[in-house]
């Protein structure tokens, strides 16, 4: 797939989710994201509101990184994040529910958060695809769609099973068609990896290595 540097930048969520990120770190990440011309910046909810995000979409996470929070707690966290200025929330599902095939629980979990999404704001659902079988990925993605997700997303980037893969993105695209967006995230560190994921069906990419990824393409 052929993209210019600017074209690839339009896919990127520049991400800083380190637990020890300081206010200065967040400000630096926002400044870098603006300079790189990426689509969005993704920061922890404790970093909101952002003082000067410029033209960037503001993304934050919910129940990150393990999804281990009650649905009510996730919904409250999402509501607070939107109130603090987030345009999008990336929520982590109850991965254990998906692993045991309880997709009704996954759907209910996502639906609880969806109910707190204001008009014009978006919900992405992190499935942690590397920790799931193909059947579980399909079931979880379908549950997320039925619950009203705007995007399905591969990974948190911290799970020991791994991050985004071309196979998982392709499977998600087969499952949700063009009805939902697909965010690939987790371990994306080169332009070649980014382009392969886009070719497989990703419509957004989350990475903490935005500059390195973009430096792999000509201007």
Give pLDDT tens digits for 103-155: 999 999 999 999 999 999 999 999 999 999 999 999 999 999 999 999 999 99
For residue 128, what are the β-bridge partners? none
Q: What is the CATH number of domain 5-214?
A: 3.20.20.70
Nearest to 95 by CA among 65, 123, 74, 67: 67
Inform me whether the pLDDT recorded for 218 exceeds 90. Answer: no
Query: Is pLDDT above 90 for 48?
Result: yes
Average pLDDT over residues 16-23: 94
Share of the chain above pLDDT 90, in %: 98
Q: pLDDT tens, 38-47?
A: 999 999 999 9
- Comparing C-alpha atoms, which of 135, 204, 124 is closest to residue 164? 204
What's the pLDDT score for residue 111? 98
Q: 193 by DSSP, 3-state: which?
A: helix
Mean pLDDT of all residues in the chain? 97
Give the pLDDT band (50/70/90) at residue 1. low
How far, CA to CA in Å, does 160 sit from each of 30, 130, 155? 28, 9, 11
Peptide bond into 62 cis (omega under 30): no
Residue 2 has a pLDDT of 81
pLDDT the model gives residue 219: 74
């Amino acid at each position: 797939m052929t993209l210019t540097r600017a074209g690839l930048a339009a896919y990127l969520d520049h991400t800083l989710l380190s637990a020890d990120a300081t206010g200065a770190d967040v400000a630096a990440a926002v400044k870098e994201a603006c300079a790189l011309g990426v689509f969005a910046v993704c920061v922890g909810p404790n970093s909101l509101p952002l003082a000067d995000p410029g033209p960037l979409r503001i993304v934050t996470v919910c129940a990150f990184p393990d999804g281990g929070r009650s649905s009510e707690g996730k919904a409250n966290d999402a509501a607070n994040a939107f109130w603090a200025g987030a345009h999008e929330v990336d929520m982590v599902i109850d991965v254990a529910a998906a692993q045991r095939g309880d997709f009704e629980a996954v759907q209910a979990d996502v639906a609880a958060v969806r109910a707190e999404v204001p008009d014009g704001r978006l919900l992405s659902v992190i499935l942690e695809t590397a920790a799931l079988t193909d059947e579980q990925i399909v079931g979880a993605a379908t549950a997320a769609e039925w619950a009203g997700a705007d995007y399905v997303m591969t990974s948190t980037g911290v799970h020991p099973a791994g991050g985004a893969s071309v196979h998982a993105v392709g499977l998600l695209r087969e499952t949700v068609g063009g009805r939902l967006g697909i965010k690939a995230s987790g371990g994306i560190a080169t332009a070649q990896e980014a382009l392969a994921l886009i070719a497989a069906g990703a419509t957004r990419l989350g990475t903490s290595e935005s500059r390195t990824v973009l430096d792999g393409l000509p201007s």
